[in-house]
Amino acid sequence: MDIFRNKNFCLLFFGRILTNIGDSLYAVSAMWLIYDLGGSSFYTGLAGFLSILPRIIQLLSGPIIDRIPIRGILVYSQLIQALLLLIVPIASFFDVLTVGLVLTITPILSICNTWVYPVQMSTLPKILDARQLTKGNSLFSVAYQGIDVACNAISGVLIIVIGAVSLYLWNALGFFIGAMLFAQLRINSANPSVKLEEAKSEVVINQVHGKSDKVKQLLADYKNDLVSGIKLLTQTPLAKLLYGIIIINAAGGATFSVLPVFSDKLGGPDLYGLLLMVQALGSVLGAACAPFLKLERIRLGLLYAVAFIVAGIAWSMSVYSPLTWLVIVFYGLAWFPGGAVNVIINTVVQKGIPQQYMGLIFSATMALSGIAMPLGSLLGGMLGLWLDSYAVISLCGLTVFLVGCYWLLDKTSRNLPKTEHIHEGFFYFRKEPGSIRSANELDI
């Protein structure tokens, strides 16, 4: 527990907990409110599409994250979300709340939230020793999923007792408090020479002297960093893992869009909250067990293959279980393997990528891995109009299973190195075209 002696880590960790409370309660209340106002799986699918679509912006935000103060991003993103959340209870008070208004706010909130996670993950290597990274990632995952467990466990009851609209008000409070904690962070920029304030100053000076070359150079550097980040992820042995995760995330988006309909048929908001609770519980148990299971000693590709084969089987079995409690158990088990391997892949990126590019790579990773979720959510909502929700969820589980089988059969994926063998610089990062390679490719 010596990691908590680090003040910056404590502020980041507890700020994450508070903002995760807001995120978790919002995720449940928003989907149920939209389903209640719209009365169709199409609207929940559209909501999932709109909430996840802004993740693509993460692909564009990466080079910016590495250039501006971390504290500012965290504080202002929380304040903006808090103010946006207050719109819903105010609209409800004046009796002007509509499904269209909720759907409009959803993507704006997501745009703000797309900055937070990559910033937090890119900050960890700047405030922790290399030996503490796996522990830090595990604690972050446990906190994130643990909050989901706690909030989802009571979300169904809260929706019934105080209503989904009132949850928006409490969500806003969580974001306000989180912003206050993040405001106390003291972290040096990984590349202070290119902070946003200095970049703006250069632009002003260049305008005074009648020069625009610096502005063009700034945009050119941004473009080069963006392209380099994508190349780093798509031209290394990790690429096939990334493509598989894109498909799995599409399946997750489709499942999430029909889950309110599925829950309504079996038990209503109580069951919906329970399913979300065991989903988070499975993930948090996986994340918590990751350091103790010694997963760093297993080849990365083999680990991912076995994990998602098991997840796909449990995913499909959950909807066809004869008893409701078995549905809950199998659905929770489906998320355990993913929770464990997510800790490992974060450690892989943090250990193998130079720190000055950490924000860029985490943004690109999340954008590319989540790029299929909006389409998957929209597709799931549309399929829910023609197919039974049972069939949609089981089809998604089968998709996850097949991706795991592909990784197991593919030689490149199966032979990816163990996490413990990856060190800083394992993935070489240079801006010259075609120069991005991994140490694995260089036989190091």
Work out the burial of residue 195: count CB atoms within 10 Å of its CB; fewer than 13 is exposed, 13-18 middle, 19 or more buried: middle
Distance, in Å, from the CA atom of 311 to the CA atom of 32, rounded to the nearest integer, reads 26
Distance, in Å, from the CA atom of 336 to the CA atom of 60, rounded to the nearest integer, reads 31
For residue 399, what pLDDT is reported? 93
**Which domains, ranges and CATH numbers included, belong to the chain?**
2-187+194-421 (1.20.1250.20)
Max distance between CA atoms of the chain, in angstroms, equals 76
For residue 424, what pLDDT is reported? 56
For residue 441, what pLDDT is reported? 40
Give the three-state DSSP class for 426: coil
The three state secondary structure string of the chain is CHHHHCHHHHHHHHHHHHHHHHHHHHHHHHHHHHHHHHCCHHHHHHHHHHHHHHHHHHHHHHHHHCCCCHHHHHHHHHHHHHHHHCHHHHHHHCCCCCHHHHHHHHHHHHHHHCCHHHHHHHHHHHHCCHHHHHHHHHHHHHHHHHHHHHHHHHHHHHHHHCCHHHHHHHHHHHHHHHHHHHCCCCCCCCCHHHCHHHHHHHHHHHHHCCCCHHHHHHHHHHHHHHHHHHHHHHCCCCHHHHHHHHHHHHHHHHHHHHHHHHHHHHCCHHHHHHHHHHHHHHHHHHHHHCCCCCHHHCEHHHHHHHHHHHHHHHHHHHHCCCCHHHHHHHHHHCCHHHHHHHHHHHHHHHHHCCHHHHHHHHHHHHHHHCCCHHHHHHHHHHHHHHCCHHHHHHHHHHHHHHHHHHHHHCHHHHCCCEHHHCCCCCECCCCCCCCCCECCCCCC
For residue 403, what pLDDT is reported? 93
For residue 436, what pLDDT is reported? 40
For the record, the structure tokens of 372 come out as 């299929």
Q: Which DSSP category does 418 fall into?
A: B
For residue 331, what pLDDT is reported? 92
Whether the Cβ atoms of residue 55 and residue 246 lie closer than 8 Å to each other: no
Residues of the chain with pLDDT under 50: 190-211, 429-444
pTM of the model: 0.60
For residue 287, what pLDDT is reported? 77
CA 60 from centroid of its chain's CA atoms: 16
For residue 362, what pLDDT is reported? 67
For residue 63, what pLDDT is reported? 58
For residue 226, what pLDDT is reported? 63
